[in-house]
Structure 1
Amino acid sequence: MLKRLSSREKFEQLIANFEPLIRKAFEDAVEDIKSRAEIGRIIERLERRDIDGAMRALHIDPAAFRPVDTAIATAYNGGGVATTGRLPPIRQPGGGQVIIRFDTRNVRAENWLRDHSGRLITNIVEDQRNAIRTAMVNGLERGANPRSNALDIVGRLNRVTGRREGGIIGLTAQQERFAANYLEDLLSGDPARMRATLERARRDKRFDRSVIKAINEERPVDAELAGRMVGRYRDRMLQLRGETIARTETMAALNESQMEAMRQAVDGGVDPTAIVKVWRSAHDNRVRDSHRAMHGQEVSLNGKFTCPTGAVLAYPGDPEAPASEIINCRCWMETKIEFLAGLE
Structure 2
Amino acid sequence: MLKRLSAREKFEQLIADYEPLLRNAFLESIRDIKSNIQIKRIVERLERNDIAGAIEALYLDQSAFRPLDRAIAQAFEGGGVAAVTDMPTLRDPSGAKLVVRFDMRNYRAEAWLREHSAGLVNDIIADQRNGIRTFLTEGLEAGRGPRAVALDIAGRVNRATGAREGGIVGLTAAQTRYVATARSELMSNDPEQLKRYLTRNRRDKRFDATVRKAIKTGKPIPVATIDRMTTQQYANRLLLLRGETIARTETMGALNASQMEAYQQLIDSGAISETVVQRVWHTARDGRVRDSHQGMEGQTVGFRTPFQSPRGPLLQYPGDPSAPASEIVNCRCRMSIKTDFLADID
Same-fold call, TM cutoff 0.5? yes
Q: Distance in 2 between matches of 1:311 and 1:134?
A: 32
Residue of structure 1 in register with 2:255 after alignment: 254
State yes or no: 1:239 paired with 2:240: yes
Amino acid aligned to 1:106: N
Amino acid aligned to 2:58: L
Residue of structure 2 in register with 1:78 after alignment: 78
Whether the 8 Å contact between 2:314 and 2:323 is mirrored in structure 1 is yes
Whether the 8 Å contact between 1:100 and 1:268 is mirrored in structure 2 is no
Q: How does 1:43-192 map to 2 (within 5 A)?
A: 43-192=43-192
Q: Distance in 2 between matches of 1:305 and 1:341?
A: 20
Task: Count how many residue pairs are aligned between Structure 1 and Structure 2.
Answer: 343
More displaced stretch, 249-258 vs 305-314: 305-314
Deviation at 1:325, TM superposition (A): 1.0
Q: Distance in 1 between matches of 2:310 and 2:163?
A: 46
Deviation at 1:341, TM superposition (A): 7.4
RMSD between superposed Cα atoms in Å: 1.5
SS at match of 2:143: coil
Report the CA distance shift for 1:15/1:69 in structure 2 as closer, same or farther (over 3 A): same
Q: Distance in 2 between matches of 1:328 and 1:218?
A: 41
Deviation at 1:39, TM superposition (A): 1.4
Amino acid aligned to 1:135: F
Q: Distance in 1 between matches of 2:291 and 2:124?
A: 29
Q: Distance in 2 between matches of 1:89 and 1:334?
A: 17
Counterpart pick for 1:327 among 329, 340, 346: 329
More displaced stretch, 234-243 vs 155-164: 155-164
Q: Distance in 2 between matches of 1:190 and 1:154?
A: 28
TM normalised by structure 1 equals 0.96
TM normalised by structure 2 equals 0.95
Q: Distance in 1 between matches of 2:169 and 2:343?
A: 52
Whether the 8 Å contact between 1:62 and 1:121 is mirrored in structure 2 is yes
Amino acid aligned to 2:135: A
Identity within the alignment, %: 56
Whether the 8 Å contact between 1:190 and 1:220 is mirrored in structure 2 is no
Residue of structure 2 in register with 1:287 after alignment: 289
Report the CA distance shift for 1:289/1:56 in structure 2 as closer, same or farther (over 3 A): closer
Whether the 8 Å contact between 2:318 and 2:328 is mirrored in structure 1 is yes
Amino acid aligned to 1:284: D
Whether the 8 Å contact between 1:311 and 1:321 is mirrored in structure 2 is yes
Deviation at 1:219, TM superposition (A): 4.2
Amino acid aligned to 1:260: E
Residue of structure 1 in register with 2:16 after alignment: 16
Deviation at 1:311, TM superposition (A): 2.1
Amino acid aligned to 2:92: Q
Whether the 8 Å contact between 1:271 and 1:341 is mirrored in structure 2 is no
Q: Distance in 2 between matches of 1:99 and 1:300?
A: 25
SS at match of 2:280: strand
Counterpart pick for 1:277 among 264, 276, 279: 279
Report the CA distance shift for 1:47/1:145 in structure 2 as closer, same or farther (over 3 A): same
Whether the 8 Å contact between 1:281 and 1:295 is mirrored in structure 2 is yes
Q: Distance in 1 between matches of 2:209 and 2:267?
A: 63
SS at match of 2:59: coil
Amino acid aligned to 1:215: I
Whether the 8 Å contact between 1:90 and 1:341 is mirrored in structure 2 is no
Q: Distance in 1 between matches of 2:29 and 2:300?
A: 39
Gaps of 5+ in 1: none
Q: Distance in 2 between matches of 1:341 and 1:271?
A: 10
Q: Distance in 2 between matches of 1:235 and 1:248?
A: 20
Amino acid aligned to 2:236: D
Deviation at 1:137, TM superposition (A): 1.6
State yes or no: 1:204 paired with 2:204: yes
Amino acid aligned to 2:159: R
Deviation at 1:217, TM superposition (A): 1.6
Q: Distance in 2 between matches of 1:324 and 1:50?
A: 35
Amino acid aligned to 2:329: I
Deviation at 1:94, TM superposition (A): 3.2
SS at match of 1:335: strand
Deviation at 1:89, TM superposition (A): 1.1
Deviation at 1:57, TM superposition (A): 2.1
Deviations 1:210-248 (A, max 9, x none): 111111123443222111110211100000000000000
